[in-house]
Structure 1
Amino acid sequence: MVIPICTAVVIYVPLLLIVRDCDGMPDPAQRDLLMRQEASRQTGGQIVLTAAEQKLDAYLHRLKEQEMSAAQFPPAIHFFKAKHLIQRSSIFKLLQKMPKGAALHVHSSALVSVDWLVKNVTYRPHCYVCFTWDSSVRFLFSARPPPPRWDCFSWQLLQTLRGKLGDPTGFDNSLMQHLTLFTQDPDGEYPNQDVVWEKFEKAFIAAAGLITHAPVLRDYFYKGLEELHQDNIMYLELRSGLSRTYELDGTIHDKVWTLKTLQEVTTKFTADHPDFLGARVIVSVNRALSVSEVKAAVQEAIQLQKDFPDVVAGFDMVGREDSGRTLWYFREALSLPAELGATLPYFFHAGETDDEGTDIDQNILDALLFNTSRIGHGYALARHPLSKELAKKKNVAVELCPISNQVLKLVSDLRNHPATVLMSEGHPMVISSDDPSLFGTSGLSYDFYQAFVGIGGFKANLGTLKELAANSIRYSSLPAHLKEKGHVAWETKWDAFVADNCC
């Protein structure tokens, strides 16, 4: 029998329920049931809170009421202007103490704070700087003055340059500006996506000369793990192109050397911090490459994973989607593992766009067709019902990076982020930071704040936070036995966090 829309409301959990005729006053009991049914579908909606968790949840709700009624609501303001407000937030301070599980979407060139890069790395001996014609900088460690090259006509030894300045504070601050997007006037400096992406890419290039110096790389990666650990994170999956590293005398190391170094540093860090699970690498290449170049990169990634099964998690394509080539363009290269009978998990960036209806907009569907393990960003997913349904059926989590999406001008008010839909439907999701050093953040607390307060709104509760944190272990690339170990360790930390803050 077909039921007219005006006379019935249908819900599907746990089974079809036909609500009484809509003429007159609706049944309050059925209304309450429908509201509870809807709430059960949201992220964390199936989690039953303990008595202690309920107390903490009630406290969080009171704090959220205060923040959402304030004159300045941080998620509605550009992060660069809202950061100081967030730092004063009681919710933020609580989130800093919360065990957040894993960071699954972080790029290697933006892992460590620019303050450390400038005040530590650029003060090391033999560090040269060059100011380029396009208002950027380049750094290079060298035993002798580097020769001119196409983008750098004059190199200066930083030690000598600083010696002429007296107080180098202003100079150091100017160097930091080349390594980050952070500014007091984001709307004025970045009027559109093209401008902010240009600065974004320049910052990556500027940092490369520092990070790829072999002695720095070791310290840099250790420092990155340290910053994550300080924010109560216990595991990392790092996107990295495994750029060739260099020594002071110009000796170049290959990707195998880099992977071995990351493995050694991780081993040392976990020995120093036994509660840290470790780190793995998602080998990445830029989507601006040719098909033949990506074919070679895929084949190389297959071999690297065979040689480093505990370190290499899989493969991804990075770079701005709107100006890069589509996943479908690279279909021959991405089909290689299946053709060769090899296993190479994919972790594709897809849907980091607001250009609806373009070829780029189909990247999410193609990522799913190529069996991606997770979807990086997935900003466009909410407007693709079939892809959304397929992703949920395949249990493919979205890596939500709210601050990145806002800074790169996909959304201004995070209450309007498409992930509000995904969160209300309980779509598999993890929270990550993308490029923390470029945004002036570290760890995951800032992104958790924006997701919990802005995207989740009043509906998001302690169960939401608990599920998001647990998801980061669940949807990691760790083998099953390490996921179990990680979840047990995280749960112990979670229970301690609740006990310390519930009353």
Structure 2
Amino acid sequence: MKTKHFTYILLFGFPFFGFQNKVAAQSTYEQKWTLLKQENEALAFDTGIKLSDAETALDKKLFQIRKQFLADTEQQKIPLFNSSFNELKPLIERSQLFEIFQSMPKGGLLHTHSGGITDVKWVITAARKYKECYVYDQPDHDQFIFGQLAFFEAGKVPKGFVSLDKKLISDPSFEKQLAELLILKRDNLCTYTNYWIEFEKRFKRISLLLPYRPFFKEYYKKGFLDLADNKVQHLEIRFIFDELYDFQHGKYPLKTSVTDLQDVVKEVQKNHPEFSLKLIYSSFKFLDPQSVEKQLETAFELKKELPNIISGFDLVADEAAGNSIYSFREDWMKLDQLSKKYGVKMPLFLHAGESNSVFNKNILDISSLDNPRIGHGLNLIYFPNTMELIRKQNKLVEVSPISNQVLGYVSDLRNHPARVLLSNGIQCSINSDDPSVYGYEGLGYDFWVAFVYWELDLKAVKKLVFNSINYSSLNESEKKKALIYLNGQWDDFIRKMNAKLK
């Protein structure tokens, strides 16, 4: 009998024991996999966000809408991931997701530039109303370029400029041509030109319009209203200060541009009481340290006089062509001295790492400076120790996905460095940089791109939206008020979208 039992064990017992070992091994493998997944998720930038039941319901709906959109584009053989923003813009605008993101409260726009926020078609129409407005219609030369707009008094018009209104009357097709000259397009991802040179030409073509005081106020009122209508409640501009003028009074003091903008904000607040504005005094990377020191002094003078609107200092221009942040180290070392002299602090909001090159080391300076936000930070992922320092310092990266593609830093937006930053706990916000130069308005396009290409969920989107207020340069009282408003708008958006998307 014992022999019989032993035979059964030999025949059936060992396979059972083997099965148990296999199950145990599989269980261990699954446990390790689950643990690794959880550990990676715990590092993400949005790990502290908990969605309500209503938000979770909307998250599932958005996931399905995106899934269907991607299936439709694949069926129609639309090369979604191999196309430029300019090629895809009509498709974006027709999508259900775009309608959703247009209506979503977006918090603040923390990274944009003076001269880059107002629709270029409006610019042409508005400028044309002034009899003093002229356009340069000759080939480029050292001083002026074809399509450059400017205001001049009668009898003081430089050679090559003609009345904008008369030009458009005699040649109606020129309006479309001029609009094309004011927008930077990347028609396909394989086109190669020096996009920074073309980019800077767009700003040069309107640079002589903005200092004219009557137009200046019109321009910013239009831009602010468009942003407020797009559910942007707070705006921070990298602002290039210039003396405003008109033909009756001549030039005005430098601070006039600030007080005029404050008056414009008051007008906007009649219909959008939540709207707020801060200005980041901006100079240029191509200047020498002595010139930047003078600019810093001017910035401190303005901030002392107007502390509620001047929030910090930046240097702009192509990082590949300009000086490094390190080359201005003597200027940064004088910040404490200037703070004591003027009785105000001047945090830096420097552009850094707007580059694909590991040789661009501007990002290394950021962790050592009073620099709470970083403009672009694309190559931060090449400097892991600095990335960890910035995470621990809780500094924010201002991400502008469409700008990064148009200027040639990222072709396939699925590979945008922000995806690495977000996964590694670096706080980010979504920004449009210079939307009018890229042919669009508002912030909805950039959120659409981030959501579709980066496979975000609503938890991530919410964190990006609220980061734009939490990391803004609003003071604590202003921030508290702004967050109360944003929370109310966000809850209303969730409720309305759930009702709409059955």
TM-score, L = length of structure 2:
0.89
The one-letter amino acid of 1:303's match is E
* Contact preservation (8 Å) 2:46, 2:460: yes
| Aligned match of 2:163 | 157
1:496 is aligned with what amino acid?
A: D
Choose from 436, 441, 464 the match for 1:468.
464
C-alpha separation between the residues in 2 aligned to 1:481 and 1:88? 40
Report deviation, 1:447. Answer: 0.7
User: d(CA) in 1 for partners of 2:386 and 2:111?
Assistant: 21
Counterpart code for 1:139: L
After superposition, the C-alpha distances for 1:71-106 in whole angstroms (9 at most, x for unaligned) are 236454210111111112211211111101000000
Partner residue of 1:355? 357
Tell me how far 1:273 sits from its aligned partner: 1.6
Give the superposition deviation at 1:154: 1.8
Q: Aligned pair in 2 of structure 1 residues 111, 51: CA closer, same or farther (>3 Å)? A: same
Distance 1:355 1:197, change over 3 A: same
Of 90-99 and 139-148, more deviation after overlay is shown by 139-148
Q: Does 1:281 align with 2:283?
A: no
The SS at the match of 2:195 is: helix
Instruction: Give the match for residue 231 of structure 2.
Output: 232
2: CA distance between counterparts of 1:94 and 1:404? Answer: 22
* Correspondent of 1:118 among 124, 128, 134: 124
Partners of 1:301 and 1:112 in 2: CA distance: 25
Question: Following the alignment from structure 1 to structure 2, what is the Cα–Cα distance between the partners of residues 137 and 146?
Answer: 19
Deviation string, structure 1 residues 154-183 (Cα, Å, up to 9, x no partner): 221122223323xx2x21111112211036
Tell me if structure 1 keeps the 8 A contact 2:137–2:162: no
1:493 maps to amino acid: Q
The separation in 2 between residues aligned to 1:490 and 1:74, in whole angstroms, is 32
| Higher alpha-carbon Rg | 2
How far did 1:267 drift?
Answer: 2.1
Q: Does 1:379 align with 2:385?
A: no
| Aligned residues of 1:67 and 1:73 also touching (Cα < 8 A) | no
Closer/same/farther in 2, CA of residues 341 and 46 from structure 1, 3 Å limit? closer
Aligned pairs for 1:1-12 within 5 A: none
Aligned to 2:497: 501
Alignment match of 1:180 (pick from 179, 183, 189): 183
Q: Deviations over 1:297-347 (max 9, x none)?
A: 001101111110011011000000000000111111222221334421100
CA displacement at 1:441 relative to structure 2: 1.6
For residues 327 and 162 of structure 2, the distance between their equivalents in structure 1, rounded to whole angstroms, comes to 43
- Counterpart residue number, 2:13: none
8 Å contact 2:300–2:338 — kept in the other structure? Answer: no
- Determine helix, strand or coil for the equivalent of 1:104: strand
The Cα shift of 1:25 comes to 5.7
- Compared with structure 1, are the counterparts of its residues 225 and 352 closer, same or farther at alpha carbon in structure 2 (3 Å cutoff)? same
Residue in 2 that maps onto 1:305: 303
Match runs of 1:87-126 below 5 Å: 87-126=93-132
How far does residue 142 in structure 1 lie from its aligned partner after superposition? 2.4
Q: What is the 5 A alignment of 1:62-141?
A: 62-69=64-71, 70-71=73-74, 72=78, 74=80, 76-134=82-140, 136-141=146-151
Aligned pair in 2 of structure 1 residues 143, 34: CA closer, same or farther (>3 Å)?
same
Q: Give the match for residue 329 of structure 2.
A: 331
Q: Distance in 2 between matches of 1:172 and 1:187?
A: 27
Q: Secondary structure at the match of 1:305?
A: helix
Q: Whole-Å Cα distance in 2 between the matches of residues 47 and 491 of structure 1? A: 14
Whichever residue aligns with residue 289 of structure 1, its letter is L
Equivalent residue for 1:8? none
Moved more, 469-478 or 212-221: 212-221
* Cα distance in 2 between the residues matched to 1:41 and 1:67: 29
Report the equivalent of 1:271: 270
Q: Distance in 2 between matches of 1:331 and 1:284?
A: 17
By how many angstroms is 1:39 displaced? 2.9
* Equivalence for 1:453: 452
Aligned-pair CA distance for 1:232 = 0.6
* Structure 1 Cα separation of the partners of residues 115 and 445 of structure 2: 19
User: Is the contact made by 1:397 and 1:475 (CA closer than 8 Å) also made in structure 2?
Assistant: yes
SS at match of 1:239: strand
What secondary structure is seen at the aligned counterpart in 1 of 2:269? Answer: helix
Map Cα deviations across residues 6-38 of structure 1 (whole Å, 9 max, x no partner): xxxxxxxxxxxxxx9996564435533442443
CA distance in 2, matches of 1:74, 1:207: 33
Q: TM-score, normalised by structure 1?
A: 0.88
Query: Within 2, Cα distance between the matches of 1:340 and 1:164?
Result: 55
CA distance in 1, matches of 2:125, 2:241: 25
Cα distance change, pair 208–75 in 1 and its aligned pair in 2 (3 A) = farther
Q: Structure 1: which 5+ residue stretches go unaligned?
A: 1-19
Q: How many residues align?
A: 466
Cα distance in 2, alignment partners of residues 162 and 365 from structure 1:
50
RMSD: 2.0
Deviations 1:133-154 (A, max 9, x none): 3253222222304343xxxx32
* Separation (CA, whole Å) in 2 of partners of 1:449 and 1:141: 38
Aligned residue for 1:330, secondary structure, equals helix
Aligned equivalents of 1:26 and 1:270: distance in 2? 60
Counterparts of 2:70 and 2:185 in 1: how far apart (Å)?
25
Aligned-partner Cα distance in 1 for 2:67–2:110? 30
| Alpha-carbon distance change, 386 to 30 in structure 1, aligned in 2, over 3 angstroms | closer
Unmatched 5+ residue regions in structure 2?
1-21
Partner letter of residue 389 of structure 1?
A: E
